[in-house]
Amino acid sequence: MEFYNQRRKQLKEAKRNKAHKIIAKFESSYEVTVISQYIDNLLELAGSTNVVHLHGELLKAGSSIKLRLVYDLKEMGIGVGYTRKLGSQLRPHLVLFGKALDGPSNSNCSKS
């Protein structure tokens, strides 16, 4: 979990680039759904409003018991003993290496 906590800290320094901004600008003329393999939030920071994160999102955590329970982390990290609803250990809301995709990270997720 510390690996991902460090990535969250690094994400604070990341900047959206010209491509992020161009993709977001398409929304002014078209209905756009962006399907991204990236786990950062740079597309959203550039203005995209309908992003599907295929591999999950770095700034979210999921329940270790009920996979569809997803929580916004805001600035906090995750550690052993960090729990939420159902008393389940929080885990990174990411598709880890060797795991099957569970579907888009923003579909049917409960944000409690």
Q: What is the mean pLDDT of residues 81-104?
A: 80
Residue identified by tokens 């995750």 is: 78
Enumerate the H helices of 18-72 as residue ranges: 18-25, 42-46
Which amino acid is residue 83, in one-letter code? Answer: T
Residue 59, pLDDT above cutoff 80:
yes
Residue 101, pLDDT above cutoff 80:
no
- Total-model pTM: 0.79
Between 107 and 92, residue with greater pLDDT? 92
Q: How does strand 34-36 pair with strand 51-53?
A: parallel
Query: What positions carry a catalytic annotation?
Result: 55
Q: What is the mean pLDDT of residues 60-87?
A: 87
Cα–Cα distance, 52 to 54 (Å, whole number): 6
CA–CA distances in Å: residue 59 to residues 7, 30, 38, 77: 10, 27, 12, 9
